């Protein structure tokens, strides 16, 4: 199985409809169909399209941008940039574990030929990457340890961060 986010956010949204929509999307995204990316599209949130370059639906990314950023302020300090490319199910990026100093700012810059969600475990930070696009996930490395970065739906490990 994949452990994508739980169908219903554990923070109870006030509007039932919103919860239902998230649940539907969550289930769709979690249905582990062999076609992977194509399963996660469309429906309730009413913001996404069904084009080939569909954005994965669950969150707030503007649709169909080729280079989207999860960071609200594009001018913000990106810190140490870890660039990773996913193409044809293969991951190209830094070898071994990426060493990061505690409290440093780090940006995971993921370019992918499939739409999916980037998930930094432990910190539990996520960003959606559109098909053929790039997403930045910027965070402050304030927890120490070894953490996995994964392309969530595809169960593909992108890298491991060693924060110390």
Q: Catalog residues that contact another protein under the rule CB under 8 A.
A: 1-12, 30, 32, 96-97, 119-122, 124-126, 143-148, 150, 152, 155-157, 160, 162, 164
Q: Are strands 156-163 and 97-100 parallel, antiparallel or unpaired?
A: parallel
Which of 64/105 has CB closer to another protein? Answer: 105
**CB 49, min distance to another protein, A:** 25
**CB 38, min distance to another protein, A:** 18
Structure tokens at 122: 């432990």
101 with 74: CB under 8 angstroms? no
Which of 3/66 has CB closer to another protein? Answer: 3
**CB 67, min distance to another protein, A:** 21
SS3 17: helix
In sequence order, the β-bridge partners of residue 100 are 163
Q: Can you spell out the DSSP letters for 58-91? A: SS-PPTT-SEEES-S-TTS---EEEEEEEETTEE
Q: Give the residue among 105, 101, 114, 95 at the shortest CA–CA distance from 158.
A: 95
**CB 51, min distance to another protein, A:** 27
Which of 5/109 has CB closer to another protein? Answer: 5
Q: Can you spell out the DSSP letters for 39-67? A: GS--STTS----STTPPPSSS-PPTT-SE
Which of 81/143 has CB closer to another protein? Answer: 143
Which of 2/64 has CB closer to another protein? Answer: 2
**CB 133, min distance to another protein, A:** 21
């Amino acid at each position: 199985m994949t452990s994508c986010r739980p169908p219903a956010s554990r923070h109870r949204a006030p509007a039932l409809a919103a919860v239902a929509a998230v649940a539907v999307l969550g289930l769709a995204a979690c249905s582990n169909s062999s076609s992977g990316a194509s399963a996660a599209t469309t429906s309730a949130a009413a913001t996404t399209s069904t084009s080939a370059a569909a954005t994965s639906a669950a969150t707030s990314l503007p649709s169909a941008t080729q280079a989207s950023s999860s960071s609200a302020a594009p001018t913000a300090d990106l810190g140490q940039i870890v660039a990773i490319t996913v193409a044809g199910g293969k991951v190209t990026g830094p070898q071994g574990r990426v060493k990061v100093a505690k409290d440093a700012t780090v940006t995971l810059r993921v370019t992918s030929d499939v739409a999916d969600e980037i998930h930094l475990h432990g910190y539990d930070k996520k960003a959606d990457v559109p098909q053929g696009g790039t997403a930045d996930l910027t965070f402050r490395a304030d927890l120490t340890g070894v953490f996995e970065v994964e392309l969530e739906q595809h169960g593909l490990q992108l890298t491991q961060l060693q924060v110390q």
